[in-house]
Structure 1
């Protein structure tokens, strides 16, 4: 049987799904968590995937080569939300942690920074305004100012001072600044490695860090004429315009993502 020709961007969703179905056994689907599978909440610990997500991810994992979640959340958090999904890989903390085949693998170079992150979280709770939510993730510390947007500059300034003092890196997100180890690892690198042997891949994201994942799909297409990548943005009022402009397709919400996947699976 003749090989299906890769569609050319921009393309319709029908074309994208048709090609994906023809390459299902060589296709990987990647998803961010917050804002993509779950609505963004003021309290990060309260975030839950929308009700339809678990079922649709399970069906998707049965239909394609691989399904993975690539998130700033720790693997422990992702496991608490997706423990029943045996065939979904979890990349936590931008890939510093990976859950695959029942095991967690942590980037060794990041482990040296656990004591510094513990102290940094305590320091943030003491020095930053009380409205700032300090999320300790073992290998990183996220400073959320969603409930106090007027404190954004204060948080940014404090974070950059600490990053310079401790030799850490800064990751900006939706109403959040995250301090993480100076280890070369981000969502783009996760996708670059994840599509190395894939014939087709989709990535669903909603934040600035997801643009690197979109870029990784484009880079793979540039060097492999047989590879097809589909970048999907999930719109939001904070970073939506910039993320959407880098994507092939924009969906309006996590509920829309679940509905989109449900409809697409009918093509398989």
Structure 2
């Protein structure tokens, strides 16, 4: 069962020393509130802020999460969404949020203060990715949904799980042919440029000047983000990181085993955050 956040902010932390893992949600929120102005929250999108859908284009954040993220951003140093989706997609879902940074395509694109910055080393791969998407649509069976993301191509087999082996084989063949990297996920094979960038690297850089950080994830790629928080704690005795898994029947067990806390759904994430906001005051 997921832990519940503290009901109020009336109690101050017993001391300002970094707490040890494992600890309850209430203890984590209490300590985080004491370092609010030095804290960053990171969230994956699919499966964390939005339910996973058969059609990726149909994914929307749960209604209550928009207001919660904006309120949280007003209370802490920074809130960011780190996703495999392009920044253009994330902007279409979070355009009402003024104080939330967006990392698209595992950090190859970044939206910050009204500007999109693309990793220069990835730009030459835009034409090959477009060609790869066309090849995938022509060569893979019709139930496979091909998602072209400008700098990556995702092959979704959620509606045809019996084709998983065929999709994975085709994806690895194309990766070898073009020199691409393969990213596995929840019922998806994604082909990416050979550019060093992943969620772990985003988080490692993002916490350099933070004293506290939380990461909410649901997929195998999010374990790298969890590892980045653990690594920061290992070298900085004052840094505190919390890893939160959002359970699912596909990758939930492995992701949950790497996390400090587990929540049951994107709706539960929104409720968990809303319940903790009073700990930060106004």
Q: Secondary structure at 1:69's aligned position in 2?
A: strand
1-structure distance, mates of 2:244, 2:44: 11
Counterpart in the other structure of 2:153 = 141
Counterpart in the other structure of 1:59 = 71
Q: 2:255 aligns with which of 243, 253, 257?
A: 243
2-structure distance, mates of 1:93, 1:66: 20
Counterpart in the other structure of 2:28 = 16
Give the drift of 1:215: 0.1
Aligned residues: 268
Give the drift of 1:40: 0.1
Q: TM-score, normalised by structure 1?
A: 0.99
Alignment partner of 1:30 is 2:42: yes
Q: Deviations over 1:41-79 (max 9, x none)?
A: 000000000010000000000000000000000000000
Matches within 5 A, 1:55-204: 55-204=67-216
- Change in 2 beyond 3 A, CA 1:207/1:183: same
Cα-Cα RMSD? 1.1
Compare relative contact order (CA 8 Å, sep 6+) and give the higher one, 1 or 2: 2
Give the drift of 1:3: 6.6
Q: 1:215 aligns with which of 211, 216, 227?
A: 227
2-structure distance, mates of 1:35, 1:252: 10
Q: Deviations over 1:185-211 (max 9, x none)?
A: 000000000000000000000000000
Counterpart in the other structure of 1:227 = 239
1-structure distance, mates of 2:21, 2:76: 22
Q: Deviations over 1:118-177 (max 9, x none)?
A: 000000000000000000000000000000000000000000000000000000000000
1-structure distance, mates of 2:164, 2:97: 37
Give the drift of 1:109: 0.5
2-structure distance, mates of 1:95, 1:113: 15
2-structure distance, mates of 1:159, 1:14: 44
Q: TM-score, normalised by structure 2?
A: 0.94
